[in-house]
Amino acid sequence: MGGESRVTDTTSRDPVRPSAAQFDRERAERRIEEFWDERATGASRRILCGATLAFADLGYHGASTREIANRAGMSSAAVYIHFESKQELLHCIALEGHKASTGAFSDPARQAADPVSQLRLGVASFATWNAEMNLLSRSIEYEIRLHRGPEFADVWDLRRGVDAHVLEILHAGMAEGVFRLADPEWAKITILSTCIDVARWYRHGSSRTPTAIGFQYADLAMMLAGAR
């Protein structure tokens, strides 16, 4: 009628957008799924995805086998068919995660010809990885420090390997006169720990992309190394 107002329903055309926290969580979980897609199949993949998320959210001691099984969509008994214990699960996650994270530094660094480029490329890639894989990084970095037994020796070998690689680059730069450092050991610890800490505060969907963060941390590493 001419005197009646008409109300337009726009609900279907204006869907509710996810919150920033929900977007971060969905993107982070997708990264976990993609990570294990390349390394496991079938039930093992589902268990590893569930365990990675459970360890990141609850910690190793807080994540029960039942919780891991629930996240994997199976029974606790089914988990033990594929993994003997929760510790074996953590070891698998920590080992594959550290292969990826240490490789994120070492692989590009080895392709560069000089210490400055090696450090810059390695740090940019390493910081980017810790942002992109924030949930996995938190899961392996926080929990591995509580597990120093012989069953985790291969994981600690990887950690010591990247430590040695960064220190080698710093010493080479000092020998060439392109890095000015009084304490290269301190510089190594600071560079690696600041990159790892990205996983703690980074949220997917923020104004800074993982790649942009990587380049910013590469600049920071140059300052910490006293680059000339």
The answer to whether residue 12 is domain-embedded is no
Q: What is the pTM of this model?
A: 0.88
pLDDT for 46-57, tens place per residue? Answer: 999 999 999 999
Distances in Å between the Cα of 119 and the Cα atoms of 7, 13, 97, 108, 127 are: 61, 49, 21, 9, 12
Per-residue model confidence (pLDDT) at position 102: 97
Domain count, the chain: 1
Task: Provide the domain limits for residue 164.
Answer: 20-225
> What is the identity of the amino acid at 180?
R
The answer to whether residue 5 is domain-embedded is no
Question: Mean pLDDT throughout 6-33?
Answer: 74
Determine the Cα–Cα distance for residues 117 and 105; give it in Å rounded to an integer: 12
Per-residue model confidence (pLDDT) at position 143: 85
pLDDT at 226 over 60: yes
Of 68, 32, 26, give the one whose Cα is nearest residue 51: 68
* Residue 41 or residue 18, greater confidence: 41
Q: What is the maximum span of the chain, computed from C-alpha positions, in angstroms?
A: 88
Per DSSP, the three-state class of 227 is strand
pLDDT for 164-214, tens place per residue? Answer: 999 999 999 999 999 999 999 999 999 999 999 999 999 999 999 999 999
Determine the Cα–Cα distance for residues 30 and 70; give it in Å rounded to an integer: 18
- Burial class (CB within 10 angstroms; exposed 0-12, middle 13-18, buried 19+) of 74: middle
Encoded tokens for 69: 């099984």
Determine the Cα–Cα distance for residues 33 and 46; give it in Å rounded to an integer: 9
The answer to whether residue 1 is domain-embedded is no
How many other β-carbons are positioned within 10 Å of the β-carbon of residue 7?
6
CATH number at residue 209: 1.10.357.10
The answer to whether residue 157 is domain-embedded is yes
Under 8 Å between Cβ of 118 and 131: no
pLDDT tier at 15, thresholds 50, 70, 90 = low
Per-residue model confidence (pLDDT) at position 139: 87
The answer to whether residue 74 is domain-embedded is yes
Per-residue model confidence (pLDDT) at position 12: 47
pLDDT for 105-138, tens place per residue? Answer: 999 999 999 999 999 999 999 999 999 999 999 9
pLDDT for 130-171, tens place per residue? Answer: 999 999 999 898 888 878 889 999 999 999 999 999 999 999
The answer to whether residue 207 is domain-embedded is yes
pLDDT, averaged across the chain: 92
DSSP states of 61-115 as a string? Answer: TT--HHHHHHHHTS-HHHHHHH-S-HHHHHHHHHHHHHHHHHHHHHHHHHH-SSH
Of 16, 1, 22, give the one whose Cα is nearest residue 204: 22
Per-residue model confidence (pLDDT) at position 10: 46
Determine the Cα–Cα distance for residues 62 and 43; give it in Å rounded to an integer: 22
The answer to whether residue 10 is domain-embedded is no
DSSP states of 189-213 as a string? Answer: HHHHHHHHHHHHH--TTSSS-HHHH
The answer to whether residue 15 is domain-embedded is no
